[in-house]
Amino acid sequence: MTSSLRIAPSLLSANFARLGEEVEAVIDAGADLIHFDVMDNHYVPNLTVGPLVCEAIRPHSRVPIDVHLMVRPVDALVPMFAQAGAGLISFHPEASEHVHRTIQLIRSHGCKPGLVLNPATPLSVLDHVLDDLDLVLVMSVNPGFGGQAFIESALPKIEAIRRRIDATGRDIWLEVDGGVKPGNAARIAAAGADTLVAGSAVFGAGPGQYRQAIDAVRQAALQGRASRGTSTVRQTEEVTA
């Protein structure tokens, strides 16, 4: 498992009237990635932003832009976001006709590919593509809206994916998105996540408080990481093995 632990503020919760400034502010406050949620009001019931906005914020970001495509179909948007400055592009298997082809398409455009698992998406979608991925994103809410409550059943799912990733011997990031906050970041990291998306927990703190908010999530996650291997995790492994 990689020793890095990344915090990725989600722009879905930012002030869109001053988006460039918001990006700079959270990076100055310690953000490791910028999480960029793309919703199409088709695959998910909301409409957000497209490649032009990604291109507009790119000059304001000195960290990778982590693009999460909640759209159907996927492939036509991949080259657009790659050209707009995305560093990582993740998509939902339910939104692609050919999952492996979409993964190849993302990599061919110079971006790191990720696959997103909704709360009800089975782990079997990883069976034949995990070695081709750089990122697995576990949704701990149903996609479409920010500010939702964390779904507790995501924890054993994260643990199971962590075991699969470790078995590959590759540095595949395990990201969690949805309801992440200091109160649950320890358990999320203890389950094996190394990249935490936080929207309301960061931007909801208000301007001038972003560093404290990011530090709170990070410190809780680091404490959780230190507790990995406890009996609680071992018991879950026995149940899910």
- Cα distance between residue 45 and residue 21, in whole Å: 28
20 is in an annotated binding site: no
**CATH code for position 174:** 3.20.20.70
Residue 1: inside a domain: no
Residue 176 clears pLDDT 80, i.e. is over it: yes
Residue 79: inside a domain: yes
146 is in an annotated binding site: yes
DSSP-derived 3-state class of residue 154? helix
* pLDDT tens-digit readout, 65-111: 999 999 999 999 999 999 999 999 999 999 999 999 999 999 999 99
First to last CA, the chain: 19
User: Tokens standing for 56?
Assistant: 């507009």
Residue 156: inside a domain: yes
Per the omega criterion (within 30 degrees of 0), is the bond before 73 cis?
yes
The pLDDT of residue 233: 41
Q: How many domains does the chain have?
A: 1
Please, which residues bridge with residue 116 across strands? 137
* Domain of 24, in residue numbers: 6-240
pTM value is: 0.92
91 is in an annotated binding site: no
145 is in an annotated binding site: yes
Residue 205: inside a domain: yes
128 is in an annotated binding site: no
How remote is the C-alpha of 131 from its chain's centroid? Answer: 18
The pLDDT of residue 3: 53
Q: Which long-range contacts (CB under 8 A, 24 or more apart) does 97-101 make?
A: 97/73, 99/125, 99/129, 100/128, 100/129, 100/132, 101/75
The mean pLDDT of 53-65, rounded to a whole number, is 98
Residue 240 clears pLDDT 60, i.e. is over it: no
- Cα distance between residue 100 and residue 133, in whole Å: 10
Residue 102: inside a domain: yes
**Exactly one of 40, 66, 177, 194 is catalytic; which is it?**
177
DSSP 148: P
Is 37 among the catalytic positions?
A: yes
DSSP-derived 3-state class of residue 159? helix
Q: Are 26 and 214 in contact (CB under 8 A)?
A: yes
153 is in an annotated binding site: no
The pLDDT of residue 236: 41
**Exactly one of 37, 66, 134, 194 is catalytic; which is it?**
37
Residue 160: inside a domain: yes
Residue 180: inside a domain: yes
Q: Judge residue 47's burial from the number of C-beta atoms within 10 Å of its C-beta, 0-12 exposed, 13-18 middle, 19 or more buried.
A: exposed
* pLDDT tens-digit readout, 13-42: 999 999 999 999 999 999 999 999 999 999
User: With pLDDT > 90 as the criterion, what percentage of the chain qualifies?
Assistant: 89
DSSP-derived 3-state class of residue 137? strand
Residue 153 clears pLDDT 60, i.e. is over it: yes
Is 32 among the catalytic positions?
A: no
Q: Are 120 and 151 in contact (CB under 8 A)?
A: no
Q: Are 217 and 7 in contact (CB under 8 A)?
A: yes
- Cα distance between residue 24 and residue 140, in whole Å: 27
For residue 164, which phi and psi values (nearest 5 degrees)? Answer: -65, -45
The pLDDT of residue 229: 58
- Cα distance between residue 85 and residue 54, in whole Å: 7
How remote is the C-alpha of 108 from its chain's centroid? Answer: 21
